[in-house]
Structure 1
Amino acid sequence: MEDPDDLHMEDIPGVKEALQNNDTAAAAAKIEENLKQQNNIPVNIAITGESGSGKSTFVNAFRGLCDDEEGAAPTGVTETTSEVTAYPHPNYPNVKLWDLPGIGTTKFPAKKYLKLVGFEKFDFFIIISATRFTENDVKLSQEIQRMEKKFYFVHSKIDNDINAEKRKRDFNKEETLKVIRDDCVHRLRGLGIESPQVFLVSSFELHLYDFSLLQQTLERDLPKNKRDTLLFVMPNINPEIIIKKKKAFQSKIKYYATLSAAVAAVPLPGLSIAVDAAVLVVAVTHYVHAFGLDVPSLKRLSARTGVPYADLCAVIISPLAAAEITKDLLLKVIAQLAGTVALIAAEEATRWIPFIGIPVAMGLSFTTTYKVLNLLLEKLADDAQRVFERTLV
């Protein structure tokens, strides 16, 4: 077992008491609750810029929503954001994108902007412009930097720029993007930003242009715990993000397995199986949501891409995708995995052998949970890849 000290049963409130009272169900519930808390690290992202820059559309796209969907940030040709408004991610409410009013408006003047929007609660700022970054944008970035926060420049609506340039006979997409990027950088330097990095983004086509580069930059700049949290809410815009999510989940499997092994050390009939089921439900639900394989996410993807929901489901193989994750469903799926039933039975049998029973049961429990989660993760990651490829057809 790896890093067994990273998780301790006695550190989880209520578990020790439940075990002493032989309350298997209560112990399982406490462990499940604790694991959910570990998966709910808050991330607060501020989306700001001048009126009409496409902030709200970016907020919706980041969350995988269409502009006209329930819960979407309101958009329009006029300024629609008049208050600081939080928009939680539909699968991870601990991750909030805050649609901030445009800087430089009467209600939110540039000099008082950060104080009025409550800058201290944000992990980083994304400053959006649909045309050229202004002096107000630069003043804001300098003030954010003074407050020791991260900020990133996003030139939005790049698809409009490309479509306009396509009319020219000598149109070259890569050259056009370079000209636009260089112009933004040159202007920001002229306004006092030393080494600006500008990301060209289309909120309607996140898989194109610089959104993946923005994701990589955020991943590099955030602390480890928030880095994974942000990764899990990122839309699957390319195969690399799916692979990164899979690797991040794989790195956490040892903790679930260690917890399973700790429960196996308690000589109570049926406890390990009950707790393992609770652990697996939390872990697998996390996988399904992060890969966008839950029913609401698949339906949103269908609406956004125009690919029928039935077509997306048709490429899915795992019975855990597009389904409600319950203990009964999981146990049914696990029973079909080669070798796992024998391992579970062996664990229950060996724990009653004098002297060596408990250590052997702990090892078997760790092995079983580790193997099961790896197999389920592999299948769900493959499904996410197939769904992604189907949206490109």
Structure 2
Amino acid sequence: MDSKNLVPENELQEMRNYFENEDFAGAVEEVKKYLEDIDQVPLNIAVTGEPGSGKSTFINVIRGLNDEEKDSAKTGVVETTMSPTAYLHPHHRNVRYWDLPGIGSPGFKPMDYLKLVEFDRYDFFLIITTERFRECHILLAQAIQSMGKKFYFLRSKIDSDLKGYKRGRANCYKEEDILKKIREDSINGLKAGGIGNPQVFLLSCLEPDKYDFYLIQKTLEDELPSHKRHIFLLSQPNFFQQALKKKRKTFRLHIWKWAIVSMMNVITSQFSGAHRALSVPHLSTNGDLTLIVNVLEEYKKAFGLDTRSLQLLADTFGKDPEDLRSVIETPTASQEITHELVFHHLNSQGLTDMGRLVTACTNQFVPKISTLASGGIAFGTTYWILSSFLANMAEDAARVLSKALEASD
């Protein structure tokens, strides 16, 4: 195999940028700090609207929960939120969706409301309604804008609107035309109220694969500061092939960094004489197995291949979870990921030669890596393992989603 095709050119360039202007040890510490910090960035998302607008249901769906699960937001036709309530993402505990008290009561004062809910803690606001946006939504948006933060308008329960149109106008029902009219009416009403260039998204939490659910995800990702995009993307539910591809891409950019950490584990263990409980060529074993297990677990959960996520996807689209599980081909995606499972894979795949090839590929950009004896091979071996499993799990996730979206007989 031609080694130059193993590592994409953009990754080689990024490695060179890290190491060419700084001493090697300092650059490694910078890489380790980046990996420690990237998943700990706090993200606080405010969800507000009138009572019964679907705030809580939206929060549950966007976190990958159903309304009856433990830790789900309380739902109901009357206001169930009396004070700001934080709901943590099940896999990314620093991502919080805040269910804010309902708006729209007589004499509603947006500035008093924003003070009550502690405006400064949120990165942006989602303003939800089930019908036309009213004065209370406009006043709140203007107050948020005046205080320098972003907001987005969500028109929920759009499936109910479409059913109503269809019942009353069955002979001339055209879904695309109706959605266009609802969107234009919403935008025009907000503009008339003084909101310039409002962003309006049409959603159904009962059919999250339809309408603007992916568009709102993409918009928020694009408009978030760069240091918060990663954690937001990974926390999103896997209802769209586009989202799966983006997750694969962002994980891919971190692989060489994990490989650098693995390399340093080997070098450190060599100098310290650390005990090697298992025999894996060119790895420090305990430290590297734990590193690989943790990263693979992150892949598995982010791509929705764990048991809980598969059950939720099956429930969302009315499928049997065993049918979804049947298209998973990667052993580590369909089993509990343990040290022993990864150890067995390492010793059965002949990965050392691939590790040498990866190391040779990076040598022209970061020559220091190939001179670090077995540490250099650890870099290549870890890089190849994570690259291979990332590709396999991403493909498994794509197959699972396709299976979930198949039309029922």
TM-score by length of 2: 0.83
Match for 1:381: what amino acid? A
Deviation at 1:112, TM superposition (A): 0.6
| Identity between Structure 1 and Structure 2 (%) | 41
Q: Deviations over 1:301-350 (max 9, x none)?
A: 2222221121121111112224332222222233343x31556799xxxx
Structure 2 CA distance, aligned partners of 1:11 and 1:77? 52
Q: Structure 1 pair 142/170, CA: closer, same or farther in 2 (3 Å)?
A: same
Correspondence 1:387 to 2:400: yes
> Which of 227, 237, 240 is the matching residue for 1:238?
240
Per mean C-alpha deviation after superposition, the further-off stretch among 85-94 and 177-186 is 85-94
Q: Structure 1 pair 55/186, CA: closer, same or farther in 2 (3 Å)?
A: same
Does the 8 Å contact 2:356/2:380 carry over to 1?
no
Structure 2 CA distance, aligned partners of 1:106 and 1:363? 68
Per mean C-alpha deviation after superposition, the further-off stretch among 82-91 and 105-114 is 105-114
Q: Structure 1 pair 141/322, CA: closer, same or farther in 2 (3 Å)?
A: farther
Does the 8 Å contact 1:7/1:258 carry over to 2?
no
Q: Structure 1 pair 280/69, CA: closer, same or farther in 2 (3 Å)?
A: same
Could you say what secondary structure the match of 1:285 adopts? helix
Q: Which residue of 2 aligns with 1:281?
A: 293
Per mean C-alpha deviation after superposition, the further-off stretch among 171-180 and 310-319 is 310-319
- Mapping of 1:131-210 within 5 angstroms? 131-167=131-167, 168=169, 169-210=171-212
- Mapping of 1:308-323 within 5 angstroms? 308-323=320-335
Q: Structure 1 pair 112/367, CA: closer, same or farther in 2 (3 Å)?
A: same
Match for 1:112: what amino acid? D
Structure 1 CA distance, aligned partners of 2:97 and 2:107? 21
- Mapping of 1:30-179 within 5 angstroms? 35=35, 38-105=38-105, 109-167=109-167, 168=169, 169-179=171-181
Correspondence 1:340 to 2:342: no
Q: Which residue of 2 aligns with 1:264?
A: 266
Deviation at 1:228, TM superposition (A): 1.1
Does the 8 Å contact 1:184/1:198 carry over to 2?
yes
Q: Structure 1 pair 153/357, CA: closer, same or farther in 2 (3 Å)?
A: closer
Does the 8 Å contact 1:315/1:383 carry over to 2?
yes
Does the 8 Å contact 1:125/1:150 carry over to 2?
yes
Could you say what secondary structure the match of 1:265 adopts? helix
Q: Which residue of 2 aligns with 1:219?
A: 221
Match for 2:327: what amino acid? V
TM-score by length of 1: 0.86
Q: Which residue of 1 aligns with 2:280?
A: none
Deviation at 1:214, TM superposition (A): 0.8
Q: Deviations over 1:198-254 (max 9, x none)?
A: 000111111100111111111111112211111111111211110100000000111
Q: Deviations over 1:38-75 (max 9, x none)?
A: 42322111100111111111111111211222221111
Does the 8 Å contact 1:108/1:116 carry over to 2?
no
Q: Which residue of 2 aligns with 1:376?
A: 389
Match for 1:291: what amino acid? F
Per mean C-alpha deviation after superposition, the further-off stretch among 356-365 and 285-294 is 356-365
Q: Which residue of 1 aligns with 2:364?
A: none
Q: Structure 1 pair 36/303, CA: closer, same or farther in 2 (3 Å)?
A: farther
Structure 1 CA distance, aligned partners of 2:72 and 2:299? 24
User: Unaligned stretches of 5+ in structure 2?
Assistant: 1-11, 277-282, 358-368
Q: Which residue of 1 aligns with 2:311?
A: 299
Match for 2:174: what amino acid? N
Match for 1:310: what amino acid? E
Does the 8 Å contact 2:333/2:393 carry over to 1?
yes
Could you say what secondary structure the match of 2:114 adopts? helix
Deviation at 1:10, TM superposition (A): 8.1
Match for 1:83: what amino acid? S
Per mean C-alpha deviation after superposition, the further-off stretch among 163-172 and 181-190 is 163-172
Q: Which residue of 2 aligns with 1:324?
A: 336
Match for 1:376: what amino acid? F
Could you say what secondary structure the match of 1:193 adopts? coil
Q: Which residue of 1 aligns with 2:4?
A: none
Q: Which residue of 1 aligns with 2:363?
A: none
Q: Structure 1 pair 251/11, CA: closer, same or farther in 2 (3 Å)?
A: closer
Q: Deviations over 1:240-273 (max 9, x none)?
A: 1101000000001111011122233332454723
Does the 8 Å contact 2:130/2:155 carry over to 1?
yes
Q: Structure 1 pair 51/360, CA: closer, same or farther in 2 (3 Å)?
A: same
Could you say what secondary structure the match of 2:333 adopts? coil
Could you say what secondary structure the match of 2:172 adopts? coil
Match for 1:340: what amino acid? L
Deviation at 1:380, TM superposition (A): 0.5
Match for 1:313: what amino acid? R
Match for 1:160: what amino acid? S
How many residue pairs were aligned?
Answer: 366
User: Unaligned stretches of 5+ in structure 1?
Assistant: 13-30, 347-355
Correspondence 1:361 to 2:374: yes
Per mean C-alpha deviation after superposition, the further-off stretch among 209-218 and 373-382 is 209-218
Does the 8 Å contact 2:51/2:77 carry over to 1?
no
Could you say what secondary structure the match of 2:113 adopts? helix
Computed over aligned residues only, the root mean square deviation of the Cα atoms, in angstroms, reads: 2.7
Does the 8 Å contact 1:319/1:333 carry over to 2?
no
Structure 2 CA distance, aligned partners of 1:237 and 1:302? 11
